[in-house]
Every structure is written in structure tokens, then in C-alpha cells.
Amino acid sequence: MEYIVGIDLGTTNSLVAFMQGDEPVVIPGVDGSNLVPSIVTLDPPQPAADGESLPRPTVTVGNSARRALIATPERAIYSVKRLMGRGIEDIGEDLKLFPFRIASDVQPGEVLRIQLGEMSFTPSEISAYILRQLKRNAERFLGAPVKKAVITVPAYFNDAQRQATRDAGRMAGLDVLRLVNEPTAAALAYGLDRAADAPARTVAVYDLGGGTFDVSILKLNDDIFEVVATNGDTHLGGDDIDNLLLMVALDEIRTEHGVDLRQQPDAIQALRKAVIEAKIALSAEPAAKLDIELPGGGRYQREIPRAVYEQLIQPVLERTAGPCRQALADAAMTPEQIDEVVLVGGSTRIPAVRRLVDEIFQLSARGRRPHTELNPDEVVAMGAAVQASILAGSSAATDQLLLLDVTPLSLGIEALGGVVARVLQRNSTIPASATEHFTTGVEGQTNVAIHVVQGEREMAKDCRSLARFDLKGIPPMPAGLPRIEVKFLIDANGILQVSAREQRSGQQAQIEVKPTYGLTDEQVEAMILDSFDHAEADFAERQLIEARLEADTILSAVDKASENSAWARLSDAERAAIFAARDHLIAVRPGSDLKAIREATTALDAATRRFAELMMDEAVSQAMRGKTMETADRTLNADEIHAPHPFAPAQIEDEPVAAAQATGERHD
């Protein structure tokens, strides 16, 4: 059986799902969790093995990488999705807010590379490591090779961001059959539960994830999911809320305690963890507490009442309202014409987000409630699995379903004076095509340069540069006589293809495509993850090798356990249980019973769970005491940070005062 999996490659978490019979099911990782945190860390350098000139770099992905995020932040990266398909000249804001370390030799106009320890990687390569982990999780779960996938992208992703995602899939050894827009995937996941004879209806999907925001308006009719309008912001999400809270805390720690943590990436990561926990708590509780030990023995203690928190994040949430209204306008609809609203993305758990959505779409005023039945973290991956099943033609439940999506951004060509001549309007159903004619301006001219852009602005320089095409090999003719027909085709993935022909001579004009922020085929080829993924011949053997590697990883961690101060905090019984599980794993490891090795590994993992938690605690408090100063030279461009002060000093009793202070300082 050939499996096609559905993958949600998220800013914060990534998931893989598949169609089990007629139901989409999320596949858990080795640790039992459905969510694989989108964190990648480069493992410490290994000594070269005999006969190898260079050791192969290895990485850790997901929950296991979390620890390294605090211990060795200079070898770790998260939220890499923000960098996909972008150039160094348009990530200034992100550099202020995220500890991205861009390789020092990256030039404007080049594909970015991120420095992890002694090596550098493109965002697509980092994403490929995440995808490869998901692929392995799926193979482990399904007991069969997985080579094909549907991957979701934010609906508002432009051509370069989509290409970067597709490249990542290829590097991970996946044939990416389709890129599906995240809100549309969510609609598909919900749509499956519906009766087939339901009347036509209009659905809005509001998708606020870790780093991206999308809104899509769909018409559902007779099993056809037809997107009529989409809008969004590829740099807006839960990350922005975390950063806001983080900056406030950093600022307060500096002004109240005279401690500047901004130069300490490990301390910042620990603080980030604390503010994220506070954010999550504030979705359910009226207040959350931050209580953090500082270098020098002081404590940063702060209560955040929900009202203050909501006022702080309001500007971030408000930024989702504009795209919603634009999508409604583009669909030529009023809020009252939206029958149902679907909430997607972890950030839609925030009550203030739900109130905003209610207001925008007039839900409670009409006695309606948004759909939240499916887990907002998992619904996109489930929808991707549904689309995978549509492509595979493998399930009766999806046999009749058809998804008609649109291109989120208008396509244009730079015309005389730098203005944009629109070739295709946004919200055109894809695949879509357009034909334009070009000619020469000089006698005997054999080349015509064309600049393709994407976006809604009037001037080409304000739009996203997609590519520059050189039409070559035009037969020499008097100026204005050649008639070159250029065909633009946006495929079902939302990716542009271009072809050209000189009509008078019938000659196929050559096109040399220079994608502005993309990798060439050769570059992608060279980056295909160098692993035994290609040795498809012996899948069982590969699984055995991987199982033994997994076993080795945990065994070596247990060997070093006694060096950690957390070890002393375990009870004798806990230590005995760990040793027993360890000895069992050592015994079964050399054998060829895959199941036995895996079970023994899982058992040892379970036995050491409490130890891992204790160790994590130690790492956090150590980081906060500033004991790992060897990384202190890494900066976060911290001098740029000017945080608002929404929290009144000390423990807050009186909310209105706090609120007033917040507004007062925001305008300084």
C-alpha cells in the first residue's frame, strides 16, 4: 500500500496525518505527542569516523530539541517558517524579535542562510529536517515507506514562499503532490462530517497560527469547496504576542532590577518559555503569574491580570480585522451573509480573539457560534490528509470532494516608469492563466527583459519581486515588429510557470528564469538531505538501524545522567527502575527484533521522564542565574527593543490604574 500523508508544516508545531479508512488521523511521534515542535538543533560536532574525511552533521528535531534551545541556543532555531522565501533585506523586523543568526556572508538578493554552530543552512533545509522527522514518524507508525505528501502553506504565502516549501519537501525525500492552503485544508477537515445533502452555505475560516494569519471565505456546495476570497498576513501570529510579553518582561527586569538579560540568549529562551506559559494560562484564568529567579539572587515577580494582557495584545489582534474586511469586500459579501465561521490555529484559543471574530462576523448577534469542535492545532493536518486522499482516490468519503482554491495576490509585470501592469487579479481560481504580448523597442533587438511581481501596490518596487525573465533568441527585426507572446500560468499549488513564443517567426523564445529569492534546481538537488532515505531497497533494515540509533541516543543520555545534579533528586526506587529498563534495552539492542527494541526504548524513555523534567528545571534556573555565559556574546539586536510598560510595578491590585498607565506610556 502506498501512503500519501498530509503535513502541516507550522511555525510553532508541525504535524503529519493520514487517512485511516474514512477518517483523517494525526500520527504521533516516538514521544507519543501529535505535535512536533518546529525546533531544529545542530548536534554537537562528532569526531570523524575511520575512513570518513568529514563527520556528517546530525540534527535533533522537535521536543528533544527543546532542551538544546536553552542549553545551546546558538545551535538551535525555531519559527524558521518566518524566513521561508525571503531575502535579507526584508527580515529586519524579524531579526529584532527572533534570535535568528544569519550567516555573515549572505548578500542582498540571495537566499538566506542561518548559522547553527559552525554550519549554515537555508530555511528550506531547516524545514526539510522537520519534514524528514515527520516522514520518519509516519513510516514508523505505518510500518511502510512514505514518499508522497501534501503539505499545507498559509493561504497568503507568495510564490517564493511556496517554492521554498516545495523545495524543502524535495530535500526531505518527499514527492510533494500538492501545496494546500491552510484555511482551505481546515474547511476540508470540517466538511467531512457533513451530510452530503446539506444546502449550499458560505464559510469563513479564521486561522491565527504561531506566525501567520489567514482568512478565507468559501462557498460549500454539493461537495465542491470553492474559495471566493482570501487575505492575510504572513507575519502575524502567536509569536508576536510572545515577543510583546517578552519585551515587557525584559524591559522591566532591566529597569527594576538593573539586570540586562538581553545579551543572554539562554536566559531569554528561559524567559520566553515562562511568558508563553503565562499566555496559555491567561486563556483560561483571570490572571497569570511570572516568577523568575534572576542572576544575583533577585526575583522578577509579576502578576498579569487578563484585562491588562488583553489591552496589551489588542493592537496585534486588531491587525487581523483589516484582512477579514478586505476578504469580505472581495467576496462582495456582508458579515451577515457568512453562515459559519471556523476557528483554526492555537491562537484562536485566546478569548479576546474569539470576541473579535464574533464582532467582525456578527456571530452572537445572529445567535451563532464559531466552529471549534476540532482541535485547532490539528485541524489543518487533518485537512491535508483529506486532500491527500482526494489525490490518491483512495477513500469513498473523499471521492466526490473537490477543492477550488484561489491565488491570494495579484500577478503583474513591471511596465514603463516602474508601475505595475496587472496580469491576473487576486482571488482568481487556480489554475489560472493569462497571456501578454511584448515587442522590441530597438531595431535588431534580440532580448527583452521582463520583471514579474506579486502584490496589490501600484509600483513594482512596493510589490514582491518574483522573477526576472530574459526573453532571448528573438529574431532580429525592426523595432516593434516582433510579437512575443508570454503565457503566465499559476498551477494548482499557487506556483507560477512561464512560457514564451515569438509569433511572427513561430520561434520558441528561450526564457531564463532568475527567481528573485529561490533556489535553482541544481541547488535543491545538492541540498537533498544526505541520508539513507534513498536506500529504499531495504526498508526493514533501515528501520532496525534507526531503532538502534534511537536506543543508543537514550542509552548514552542515561550513561551521563549521574553527572547531572538532577540525578541526586531522584529516589532510589526511580534510579533502580531506570537501571532495570536500561539493562533490558542493552540486552535486546543487538537482536533483530524491531518491536522488542522499540518497546524497550519506550520503556526506558518512560522510566527517565521524571529525570528529564528535573533536568529541564535545572537548566532553566541555571540559565536564569547566568551560569552559561560562554554564549553571552550572541545578541538579539537588543538595543532596538523599546517595549511598552503595560504592567504597573509590583503586584497589581488596581486594574484601571494599570490600564491608564499602559495607554500613557504607549504614546511616549
Say how many CA atoms lie within 13 Å of 413 toward its Cβ: 17
Contact 589, 235 (CB under 8 A): no
Give exposure, 475-505, as e/b (b: 16+ Cβ within 10 Å): eebeeeebebebebbbeebbbbebebebeee
The sign of the CA dihedral 300, 306, 311, 317 is positive
Contact between 620 and other proteins (CB under 8 A)? no
**Footprint of other proteins on 146-185 (CB under 8 A):** 177-178
Phi/psi region, residue 417 (left: phi>0; alpha: psi -120 to 50; beta: rest), is: left
Q: Binder to other proteins among 65, 390, 411, 477 (CB under 8 A)?
A: 390
Count CB neighbours of 400 within 10 A.
11
Contact 342, 206 (CB under 8 A): yes
Q: Binder to other proteins among 433, 439, 631, 661 (CB under 8 A)?
A: 433
Contact between 498 and other proteins (CB under 8 A)? no
Is the Cβ of residue 103 or residue 333 nearer to other proteins in the bound state?
333
Q: State in angstroms the smallest separation of the CB of 74 from other proteins.
A: 39
**Footprint of other proteins on 57-76 (CB under 8 A):** none
Contact between 663 and other proteins (CB under 8 A)? yes
Q: State in angstroms the smallest separation of the CB of 26 from other proteins.
A: 22
Task: Exactly one of 8, 94, 139, 240 is catalytic; name it.
Answer: 8
Cβ neighbours for 64, distance < 8 A, ≥ 6 positions apart = 31
Q: Residue 445: which of 484, 481, 479, 483 has the closest Cα? A: 479
Question: Residue 181: in which H helix or E strand, if any?
Answer: strand 175-181
Is the Cβ of residue 2 or residue 538 nearer to other proteins in the bound state?
2
Contact between 431 and other proteins (CB under 8 A)? yes
Is the Cβ of residue 504 or residue 666 nearer to other proteins in the bound state?
666
Task: Exactly one of 125, 159, 167, 207 is catalytic; name it.
Answer: 207
CA 615 to chain centre: 28
Q: State in angstroms the smallest separation of the CB of 226 from other proteins.
A: 8
Site string for other proteins, 302-321 (x = CB under 8 A): ---------x---x------
Contact between 200 and other proteins (CB under 8 A)? no
Residue 182 among the catalytic residues: yes
Contact between 404 and other proteins (CB under 8 A)? yes
Is the Cβ of residue 260 or residue 399 nearer to other proteins in the bound state?
399
Q: Binder to other proteins among 7, 274, 432, 607 (CB under 8 A)?
A: 432
Collapsing DSSP to helix, strand or coil, 525 comes out as: helix
Q: State in angstroms the smallest separation of the CB of 321 from other proteins.
A: 11
Is the Cβ of residue 486 or residue 607 nearer to other proteins in the bound state?
486
Site string for other proteins, 213-232 (x = CB under 8 A): --------xx-x--------
Q: Binder to other proteins among 403, 496, 614, 648 (CB under 8 A)?
A: 403
Cell of residue 326, nine digits = 478586505
Between CA 421 and CA 415 the distance in angstroms is 6
Contact between 603 and other proteins (CB under 8 A)? no
Contact between 393 and other proteins (CB under 8 A)? yes
Collapsing DSSP to helix, strand or coil, 362 comes out as: coil
Q: State in angstroms the smallest separation of the CB of 224 from other proteins.
A: 6
Q: Residue 42: which of 7, 8, 12, 80 has the closest Cα? A: 80
Cell of residue 598, nine digits = 522499540
Between CA 628 and CA 267 the distance in angstroms is 9
Single-letter amino acid code for the residue at 536: E
Q: State in angstroms the smallest separation of the CB of 628 from other proteins.
A: 40
Q: Residue 442: which of 474, 484, 480 has the closest Cα? A: 480
Is the Cβ of residue 492 or residue 555 nearer to other proteins in the bound state?
492
Collapsing DSSP to helix, strand or coil, 329 comes out as: helix
Is the Cβ of residue 429 or residue 556 nearer to other proteins in the bound state?
429
> Site size for other proteins, by CB under 8 A?
28
Q: State in angstroms the smallest separation of the CB of 402 from other proteins.
A: 6
Candidates 106-114, 195-203, 387-395, 602-610 — which segment interacts with other proteins by CB under 8 A? 387-395
Task: Exactly one of 125, 182, 214, 266 is catalytic; name it.
Answer: 182
Strand partners, 499: 487
Between CA 200 and CA 486 the distance in angstroms is 39
Contact between 385 and other proteins (CB under 8 A)? no
Count CB neighbours of 649 within 10 A.
12
Q: State in angstroms the smallest separation of the CB of 375 from other proteins.
A: 26
Between CA 588 and CA 384 the distance in angstroms is 38
Is the Cβ of residue 50 or residue 197 nearer to other proteins in the bound state?
197
Is the Cβ of residue 188 or residue 341 nearer to other proteins in the bound state?
188
Q: State in angstroms the smallest separation of the CB of 447 from other proteins.
A: 22
Collapsing DSSP to helix, strand or coil, 530 comes out as: coil
Residue 207 among the catalytic residues: yes
Single-letter amino acid code for the residue at 287: A
% helix, strand, coil for the chain, step of 5: 40, 25, 35
Between CA 244 and CA 522 the distance in angstroms is 41
Contact between 566 and other proteins (CB under 8 A)? no
Q: State in angstroms the smallest separation of the CB of 459 from other proteins.
A: 17
Strand partners, 102: 114
Site string for other proteins, 458-497 (x = CB under 8 A): -------------------------------xxxx-----
Is the Cβ of residue 204 or residue 403 nearer to other proteins in the bound state?
403
**Footprint of other proteins on 532-561 (CB under 8 A):** none
Contact 160, 516 (CB under 8 A): yes
Cβ neighbours for 525, distance < 8 A, ≥ 6 positions apart = none
Contact between 333 and other proteins (CB under 8 A)? no
Is the Cβ of residue 364 or residue 429 nearer to other proteins in the bound state?
429
Residue 31 phi, psi (nearest 5): -80, 5
Cβ neighbours for 484, distance < 8 A, ≥ 6 positions apart = 437, 438, 439, 448, 471, 474, 500, 501, 502, 503, 509
Q: State in angstroms the smallest separation of the CB of 262 from other proteins.
A: 27
Catalytic residues: 8, 81, 182, 207
Give the binding site for other proteins (CB under 8 A): 177-178, 221-222, 224, 311, 315, 390-393, 400, 402-404, 428-434, 489-492, 663, 666
